[in-house]
Amino acid sequence: MQDFIRIENLVFEYVKGEDNTSVRAIDDVSFVVEKGSFTAVIGQNGSGKSTLAKNINGLLTPTSGKVVVDGLDTSDHDNIWNIRQRVAMVFQNPDNQIVSSIVEDDVAFGPENLGVDPVEIRRRVDEALVGVEMYDFRKKAPHMLSGGQKQRIAIAGAVAMEPECIVFDEPTAMLDPRGRSEVLSVIRKLNRRGITVLLITHFMDEAAQADKIIVMDKGLKKIEGAPAEVFRKADELKALSLDVPPAVDLALKLRERNIDIPEGILTIDDMVDCLCR
Amino acid sequence: MSIEVKGLTHIYSEGLPHESVALEDVNFKAEDGQLVGIIGHTGSGKSTLVQHLNGLLKPKTGSIIIGDTDITADGVIMRDIRRKIGLVFQYPEYQLFEETVAKDVAFGPNNLGLSQEETDERVKEAIELVGLDYDKVKNVSPFDLSGGQKRRVAIAGVIAMKPEILILDEPTAGLNPRAHADILNMVKNIHETERNIIFLVSHNMNDIARMSDKVIVMDCGKVAMEGPPAEVFLRENELRNMGLALPDSMEITMRLKRAGMDINSVCLTMDEAADEIAKVLKK
Amino acid sequence: MIRDITLGQYYPGNSYVHKLDPRVKIMATLLYIVSLFVVDDFLGFAVAFVGLAVVIAVSKVPLKFILRGLKPVFLIISFTFIINMFMIKGEVLVSLGFLTITREGLRTAVFMAVRLVLLIIGSSLLTLTTKPISLTDGIEALLSPFKKIGLPAHELAMMMTIALRFIPTLLEETDKIMKAQQARGADFESGNIIRRAKALVPILVPLFISAFRIAQDLAMAMEARCYGGDIKRTRMNGMKLRSGDFVASAIFIVFIGLIILERIML
């Protein structure tokens, strides 16, 4: 498959306000994101995962190293608008990213900024709202909606820019279980339609659904691989203060009790199949 | 100390076109030293209920009796209620406002009108109880701490009021796995040290199953179920209809049982589930 | 309590007045206000009153709802009325000790009160029948000719849009913070003014921090959505004058013409 994002030896440092010491938030990280893939980035708070996300669409630019999106280098200022149009972003707090007091006007904000023709904006907005199942709420005020609904509006706002990739920066961290599952199912649907997804999360069951997981710790990339490979390293994950999905947790506990459970069990479905065979 | 809620009803915007019944005839009891889990999806009335317990909202009808005082009665002094019941809201770190951690934690005790020595002592005790090093943090600005630490300071601010009943609304919301586990251990530690009644409101069924002595399930403003977690989580279909899930351990054991495995499906932790499965497979 | 004030509120509806282009409504309102100061006799006010009554009837906004908007300014109107009545010298009608009511005073007082009432109803009709967001768009469009002399029309409109969006969020935030501090025993209601002002610190500090956090997040989100100010920006709902707007403008011009004519002729 074709590489869509290439990150090469990315280093990002920022200067701390008070004592002018520079802090290295990302330390020599390299990986690629293939076109149409679903990549999850996990790591505890302060591991650099959010900083990484902001480096991908040029909200932050590398201190050294390179981020190349669809052949465009983020360090080149002339590329910024092209990159942001290709890589949209959805943030953690559903309230703080909605600009307008009417749902459909907010979804139109991105395409309006891109100078898209009004008739075309209308088409994109309607399509995006249908896609996240919020079309019936298009005339509502965002503050009357639930967290999960607001987050779906934010996603529609990203989709309406017709990007090739969407970076989700902990989109479910502030939602209740219902909101979480709504948002995750929208993310999976977008991915099936061909949008490249980069999901930053600390929920392991969400990460388990990705094609590839990248584990960050203290600015370093610690593990990279398919979910089955990554969750096999449960001890390593625990040492990084991370969890494993419930089925993996149970598999480990059963092995401790001398029960032979095959590798590669990630979901509860897998586990039930395996035990009842 | 015990708390009893009798016939509690609350209506928002009564008499206006958008009036809505938030609580309807809510009844339950909690005894000394119990940790009570409150679950229910968003909008089920959990938040309205806990705000009543603290006297922030007044019920339309019904009463809340703590020990032998009815806190909904006329003429009850709010300060006396706050002395008895502490409420920690969701994302409590957003309430911090003082220059130093110690001053912020002292805000509650000061409002209770305690003496300076007593306040200082309680502040120290509370900061240590939430697992922070008093000497290290007391003069630090709360805004320079990490997210998890800020939340601890905010919780300490309520614990310093030494409530006999402590209500924690989603204390782990938005935290990553390590901080999540740390906060739960802290809750356990507070419970063991203070021997108070703790109400834990949470969406996380694993935590509720593991921690609580009793679970109250809220749905559409009513108490839909009340009982020990082992009983409540057996009523799978009813819970699902309310949009609630089972703890992961029981999610697995219930499905194994349905798939034909002869297993005791009441497993409140993953370790219990592993034990039960091992027992069946080794037979 | 804050929610009870209808002045400046939008009353959802689908009437002819609601559907008019915001630019037409803003200009009409401004002209109407000017005309109220041109008028100087009973016939003129009668014309202005009838005009307003017709617009209210067409807008289908309940009269009760409109009059409620007058409540907060009732005191100001009464005050102007009294001042005018007693302070203006002229032919004495009634004399109460040192206070005298003159014919001129009474006349000015009545006119001023009527003028204020018509002015407030007229301008509140604009906000009652126009969504805040269209109002913002209208103001932006009307101010855009002044961009050439350096007026940041787009930026002003964007600020208004964001303010409208975040007022409910900040009110909610304030409520949350107040409750949280009350749970810690804070008391906002008793004590003298200094004590009460001091009691606001635990609310204001977290509120400011919240507002800054929102601003920071929002700036980041807007940048990620390619916001770069007014350059090459298009609008989904571009404003377009329709036949209804021309008809309304024509009727309104005739109406204003009548008022001016009345003033000149009589």
Q: For residue B15, is pLDDT > 90?
A: no
- Give the domain ranges of chain C: 2-165+237-265
SS3 content of chain B, % helix, strand, coil (to 5): 45, 20, 35
Chain A residues lying within 8 Å of B147, measured CB to CB:
45
Backbone phi, then psi, for C175, in 5-degree steps? -60, -45
What mean pLDDT comes out for the span C5-9? 59
Chain B segment 56-75 residues within 8 A of C by beta carbon are 56
Does residue A272 belong to the interface with chain B, where contact is any CB pair within 8 Å?
yes
> Most B CBs within 10 Å: which of C175, C184, C205, as the mutation test of the B interface?
C184
Residues of C with CB under 8 A from a CB of A: 131-133, 161-162, 164-165, 168-169, 172, 213-214, 217-218, 220-228, 232-238
Q: What is the mean pLDDT of residues C138-163?
A: 89
Mean pLDDT of C245-255: 91
d(CA A195, CA A164): 5
One DSSP character per residue, A46-105 reads: TSSHHHHHHHHTTSS--SEEEEEETTEETTSGGGHHHHHHHEEEE-S-SGGG--SSSHHH
State the chains in contact with C (3 or more Cβ–Cβ pairs under 8 Å).
A, B
Chains within contact range of chain A (3+ C-beta pairs < 8 Å) = B, C
Domain boundaries, chain A: 3-244
pLDDT level of residue C6 (50, 70, 90 thresholds):
low
Which ipTM did the prediction report?
A: 0.91
- In angstroms, what separates the C-alpha of B187 from chain C's closest C-alpha? 19
Residue in C77, C103, C100 with CA at minimum distance from that of residue C87 = C100
pLDDT at C2: 42
DSSP string covering A166-185, please? Answer: EEEESTTTTS-HHHHHHHHH
Per the DSSP assignment, residues forming a β-bridge with A111 are none
Residues of chain A below pLDDT 70: 1, 17-18
CA distance B205 to chain C (A): 26
Determine which of A113, A122, A151, A200 to mutate to test the interface with C (most C C-beta atoms within 10 Å): A113
- Sheet containing A196-201, strands listed edge to edge, beginning at the edge strand earlier in sequence: A87-90, A165-169, A196-201, A38-42, A212-217, A220-225
Tell me the count of B-C CB pairs closer than 8 A: 53
Over residues C100-112, the mean pLDDT reads 87
Instruction: Give the CB-side neighbour count of residue A251, counting CA atoms within 13 A.
Output: 24
Domain ranges (residues) in chain B: 3-235, 247-283
Nearest to C126 by CA among C5, C10, C242: C10
Question: With an 8 Å Cβ cutoff, is A277 touching chain B?
Answer: no
- Smallest CA–CA distance, residue A80 to chain B, in Å, is 31
> Is the CB of A122 inside 8 Å of chain C's CB atoms?
yes
Q: Hey, is the C-beta of B108 within 8 angstroms of any chain C C-beta?
A: yes
**Per the CB < 8 Å rule, is B56 touching C176?**
no
- Do A259 and B278 make contact, defined as CB atoms within 8 angstroms? yes
User: pTM for the complete prediction?
Assistant: 0.88
For the ranges A153-167, C64-78, C209-223, C248-262, which has the lowest average pLDDT? C64-78
CA-based radius of gyration for chain B:
20
Q: Which CATH superfamily is domain A3-244 in?
A: P-loop containing nucleotide triphosphate hydrolases (3.40.50.300)
User: What confidence score (pLDDT) does residue C3 get?
Assistant: 44
HEC string of C45-78 equals HHHHHHHHHHHHHHHCCCHHHHHHCCHHHHHHHH
Distance CA B244, CA B242 (A): 6
Residues in A touching C222 (Cβ below 8 Å): 99, 109
C181, closest residue in chain B (CA to CA) = B95
Class of domain B3-235: alpha beta
Q: Tell me how many degrees the CA angle A112-C222-C161 measures, rounded to the nearest 5.
A: 70
| Mean residue pLDDT across chain C | 87
Q: What is the pLDDT of residue C8?
A: 64
- The answer to whether residue C4 scores a pLDDT higher than 70 is no
Smallest Cα distance from A115 to chain C, Å: 5
Q: Which residue of A has its CA nearest to C236?
A: A118
Provide, rounded to the nearest whole percent, the portion of chain B with pLDDT above 70: 99
Average pLDDT estimate for B101-126: 95
Q: Which residue of A has its CA nearest to B147?
A: A45
Nearest to B94 among C183, C184, C210 (CB): C210
Q: What stretch of H or E contains A34?
A: strand A22-34
Residue C238 has pLDDT above 80, yes or no: no
